[in-house]
Amino acid sequence: MAATYHARSNSLPSRQHPIVSQIDENLNRLRESQSTSTSSSIGHNLSGLQDLHECVDVLLQFPLTQQALAQEKQREMVEELLDESLMLLDVCTIAKDALLQTKECTQELQSILRRRRGAEGLANEFRKYLTSRKAMKKAICKALKNLKHIHNKLSTPGENGAVISVLRDVEAVTINVLESVLSFISGPEAESKSSRWPLVSKQMHQKKVMCEEEQKANEILSAEATVCSCIKSKNMKHVDNVQKELQSLDLSIQDLEEALKPSPGV
């Protein structure tokens, strides 16, 4: 990081300044935590992202920072970052809406299960739940494409001032965190497809085991898989398992909702 600080010294506070050190520490911490994708780790990353953006807000108030951004040669990049920031806010809104929709569908299904409407009625409600999930995944897929588009623009080489470099680093980390949130809510496309493949070989069995292990770490996928299993088996004795999964999912959604309340923006 020493080389990075040296490059920033002409347009950022000195390397000893607490806010500069804090930004770099938060960036490194978020980069290192990207390998895990449980609801608790994602919630932790969202909280860390909030801390990072609060530090950036402080940095942007410094006269030295504002002077650097006001330079003519930086103007085009600043406008581009502002546009991308608005796109990230839109993606964050999609994530919150998807989480709210998941919460509402989960609680509605829990209420129906408590009333026990009968096997056929429950099967229909389960299908409605899965249909809602499918529609949600389409919206998330579009949001993920937007994130990829922004990420590709960040990868474009160019001469950037020190402040712009910091903002681009923050934007890249923000994209990664939002991507993990959206992927957690929707689940990988391969998983939804693999649930329909027949077990015709040892290789397919291994894929199924791996899929089940990933589902256990994701309360949303786990609940969805249990609902699918209940429909396929036509055995309403599995309803108790669905109820347990939905209860666990409800708690996870509450944690993520709390972490998503402050909308991150560059």
The 10s digit of each residue's pLDDT in 134-170 is 999 999 999 999 899 888 887 665 566 788 889 999 9
Which of the pair, 204 or 139, is modelled with greater confidence?
139
Residue holding tokens 């389960």?
A: 126
First to last CA, the chain: 22
Among the residue ranges 22-31, 193-202, 251-260, the one predicted with the least confidence is 193-202
- Average pLDDT of the chain, as a whole number: 78
103 vs 107: CA distance, rounded Å? 6
155 vs 9: CA distance, rounded Å? 23
pLDDT at 236: 64
**Other C-beta atoms lying within 10 Å of the C-beta of residue 23:** 22
Cβ-based neighbours of 43, under 8 Å, separated by 6 or more = 255, 256, 258, 259
Q: What is the pTM of this model?
A: 0.78
265 vs 88: CA distance, rounded Å? 7
112 vs 14: CA distance, rounded Å? 60
pLDDT at 203: 35
pLDDT reading at 38 higher than 90? no
pLDDT reading at 54 higher than 90? yes
The three-point CA angle 48-49-52 to 5° equals 90
* 88-130 pLDDT per residue, tens: 999 989 998 999 999 999 999 999 888 876 656 788 889 999 9
**Other C-beta atoms lying within 10 Å of the C-beta of residue 150:** 21
102 vs 227: CA distance, rounded Å? 14
**Distances from the Cα of 11 to the Cα of 53, 57, 63, 105, 131, angstroms:** 19, 16, 10, 50, 52
Kindly give the residue spans of alpha helices, DSSP state H, lying in the chain.
2-8, 18-32, 39-60, 63-69, 72-115, 119-154, 162-186, 189-194, 202-217, 219-233, 239-260
State which H helix or E strand residue 158 sits in: none
Which of the pair, 73 or 13, is modelled with greater confidence?
73
Length of the chain as a residue count: 266
Number of H helices, E strands in the chain: 11, 0
pLDDT reading at 2 higher than 60? no
